[in-house]
Amino acid sequence: MATSPRLEVIDLSFRHPGQSQPTIAGVNLALYSGEIVSIAGATGSGKSTLLNCLAGISPNHTGGKLQGKILYEGVDIQSRSVRQRSQHFCTLLQNVETQIFTDCVWEELLFGLENWNIPPERIPHLANTALQEFGLEVQRNWAIAQLSAGQKQRLLLACQLLIDQPVLLLDEPLAYLDAKGVALLLQLLRAKAEEGRSIVLVEHRMDMVEEICDRFYAFEDGTLFEVQSGQRKSDRREDSPASSFSNPTEFDRVSISSPSSTVAKILLRTCQLGWGAYPLFPDMEVASGETVLLKGDNGCGKTTLLKLLSGLLKPSTGTLEILGRNVNKRSVVQIAGDVGFVLQNPNHQLFADSVRSEVLQSGVSLEFGMALLERLNLSDRGDRHPQSLSQGQKRRLALGAVLARRPKICLLDEIMVGQDPNSLALMLNVLRDFTDRGGALILTSHVPLPSDIPNLKLLELEQA
């Protein structure tokens, strides 16, 4: 390891606009050539804020007040723009859609290379190598809108890692990847480190990255501290979602649905459901109180199936029955009376001007709405604008907003992403209450779920 750090953060603090207290304070970190440093912490604790400060996004494009020093190879770079820092820093943001600029997979790869003024004769070879490395050869000429979230993440990683900047700043890069994608990326990051790259990796699940990381840090109340090996093991035992899920929360349980009857009622049934070029989806029969976990590799159609069940897409073949009625010809608004859908990207369904207003919709009682916010650990942010929250907090808010409407069936698309163990446990407890009261859950999740979820079914989808 080099004796001098490649990247050094000295007593760094940042306060967001309109906030009286700093989001991060007194942060000190040294990153050396050839090492991978992992940063964990609760949702909203400052992980993404730190990466935004390093990349020059904050305060240059967000506003706010930054204090302290950021040194790259011993030189203070705070006056440098995002473009200037990108000569040295490769930055992957949490929301992949904010870093995609074209409509086609191949064009997206070319876009970055051309902007970097790579000689034209080298570009096809580099782009083809990236497609092969990230398993996207089949999708070469696809429209990006056709990709799943996991495929978009692989595309963005392929684009970002093409240039080989010395420092990689990666915010939840494993979020939407299937098991094969995770293994591939971890192997690739270790190889990059062995070539001399310096990597900052934000990831809640320390156990997934501990084999490739050299040091571990965590944020708590805006303060960054180093986590020792013994502490990591202890944290996973005590704070794991599985252990928290089986215990009641400190909040009173509030009915999220109507009480279930003693005989399980079939809420949803599909037969020979098909759409586009996907193979026919497996037939489903979902009863009250059940949880169905959709499994399959990136691109197999999990999100597409949820969109069909919600009415956002109309099946090309087959039938969909909800509460015993064929709803193939019903509008998405009519179906939404019984089916709630929490999307992968929470930014697509948060529309109110405050966290409280997002949940306290027309017809939702004050007591019920505030209880949901408290159970999801959002009650102290009631006056905040939803877009000021972290991605993990936004997902909890979107869940609360959907459950506030008391649907019979709730569809969840990768909403466990970006949740620390305690926040994940809160979500799981709310969802368990939903099924205990007669609701049904159909969800996708690459985050492992507890084994003691009652009435859990697994549904494996074939690769398209």
Q: What percent of the chain has pLDDT over 70?
A: 92
* Confidence bin at 310 (pLDDT 50/70/90): very high
280-290 residue pLDDT tens = 999 999 999 99
pLDDT of residue 176: 87
pLDDT of residue 225: 95
Q: Do 168 and 313 fall within a single domain?
A: no
pLDDT of residue 231: 60
Domain containing 417 equals 243-460
Query: Is pLDDT at 252 greater than 90 in this prediction?
Result: no
Q: Can you tell me the mean pLDDT for 264-278?
A: 92
Helix, coil or strand: residue 268: strand
Query: Is pLDDT at 464 greater than 80 in this prediction?
Result: no
Q: Can you tell me the mean pLDDT for 311-337?
A: 95
* Confidence bin at 253 (pLDDT 50/70/90): very low
Q: Can you tell me the mean pLDDT for 13-26?
A: 93
Does some domain include residue 89? yes
DSSP classification of residue 203? -
**Are 162 and 92 a contacting pair, CB within 8 Å?**
no
Q: Do 221 and 305 fall within a single domain?
A: no
* Confidence bin at 31 (pLDDT 50/70/90): very high
Query: Is pLDDT at 246 greater than 70 in this prediction?
Result: no
Q: Can you tell me the mean pLDDT for 117-138?
A: 92
* Confidence bin at 258 (pLDDT 50/70/90): very low
pLDDT of residue 3: 78
* Confidence bin at 320 (pLDDT 50/70/90): very high
What is the residue whose two structure tokens read 């603090």?
13
The highest-confidence range among 67-76, 181-190, 442-451, by mean pLDDT, is 67-76
Domain boundary among 191, 211, 238: 238
Question: Which amino acid would we find at residue 7?
Answer: L
pLDDT of residue 235: 42
What is the residue whose two structure tokens read 């779920």?
449
Does some domain include residue 1? no
Q: Do 39 and 179 fall within a single domain?
A: yes
Does some domain include residue 2? no
Q: Do 275 and 146 fall within a single domain?
A: no
Instruction: Compute the half-sphere exposure of residue 236: CA atoms within 13 Å on the CB side of its CA.
Output: 12
Report the CATH number that the domain containing residue 369 is assigned in CATH: 3.40.50.300
Helix, coil or strand: residue 95: coil
370-404 residue pLDDT tens = 999 999 999 999 999 999 898 889 999 999 999 99
pLDDT of residue 76: 96
In Å, how far are 241, 291, 402, 428 from 453, measured between CA atoms?
11, 8, 21, 9
pLDDT of residue 453: 86
Query: Is pLDDT at 162 greater than 70 in this prediction?
Result: yes
Count of structural domains, the chain: 2
Backbone torsions φ then ψ of 87, nearest 5 degrees: -65, -25
* Confidence bin at 97 (pLDDT 50/70/90): confident
Parallel, antiparallel, or unpaired: how do β-strands 24-31 and 167-171 relate? unpaired
Query: Cα–Cα distance between 35 and 100 in angstroms, integer?
Result: 28
Query: Is pLDDT at 242 greater than 50 in this prediction?
Result: no
**Are 31 and 7 a contacting pair, CB within 8 Å?**
yes
Does some domain include residue 394? yes
Q: Do 314 and 230 fall within a single domain?
A: no
Q: Do 249 and 234 fall within a single domain?
A: no
pTM of the shown model: 0.79
Does some domain include residue 416? yes
List % helix, strand, coil for the chain (3-state, nearest 5).
35, 20, 45
Q: Do 276 and 372 fall within a single domain?
A: yes
Q: Do 110 and 55 fall within a single domain?
A: yes
How deeply is 128 buried, as exposed, middle or buried, from its count of CB atoms within 10 A (0-12, 13-18, 19+)?
middle
Parallel, antiparallel, or unpaired: how do β-strands 36-41 and 24-31 relate? unpaired
User: Considering just the CA atoms, what is the radius of gyration of the chain in Å?
Assistant: 23
Q: Can you tell me the mean pLDDT for 267-282?
A: 94
**Tokens coding 396:** 């909890």
Q: Can you tell me the mean pLDDT for 18-24?
A: 91
Query: Cα–Cα distance between 143 and 449 in angstroms, integer?
Result: 32
> What is the Cα 192 distance to its own chain's centre?
24
Q: Do 423 and 343 fall within a single domain?
A: yes
In Å, how far are 42, 183, 197, 199, 366 from 190, measured between CA atoms?
25, 11, 9, 9, 50
pLDDT of residue 2: 58
Does some domain include residue 387? yes
Q: Do 158 and 206 fall within a single domain?
A: yes
Q: What percent of the chain has pLDDT over 90?
A: 72
* Confidence bin at 254 (pLDDT 50/70/90): very low
Q: Do 357 and 414 fall within a single domain?
A: yes
Mean pLDDT of the chain: 89
Q: Do 297 and 259 fall within a single domain?
A: yes
* Confidence bin at 175 (pLDDT 50/70/90): confident
Domain boundary among 238, 257, 289: 238
Q: How far apart are the first and last CA of the chain?
A: 45
pLDDT of residue 239: 40
List all residues 6 or more positions away from 129 whose beta carbon is below 8 Å from its beta carbon: none
Question: Which amino acid would we find at residue 438?
Answer: G
Does some domain include residue 78? yes
Does some domain include residue 428? yes
What is the residue whose two structure tokens read 């009622």?
265
Query: Is pLDDT at 167 greater than 60 in this prediction?
Result: yes
Domain boundary among 212, 238, 264: 238
pLDDT of residue 70: 97
Q: How many CB atoms lie within 10 A of CB 93?
A: 21
* Confidence bin at 229 (pLDDT 50/70/90): low
318: left (phi over 0), alpha (psi -120 to 50) or beta: left
Helix, coil or strand: residue 248: coil
Q: Is the dihedral of CA 116, 121, 126, 127 positive or negative?
A: positive
pLDDT of residue 241: 36
399-446 residue pLDDT tens = 999 999 999 999 999 998 888 888 999 999 999 999 999 999 999 988
Parallel, antiparallel, or unpaired: how do β-strands 409-413 and 440-444 relate? parallel
* Confidence bin at 232 (pLDDT 50/70/90): low
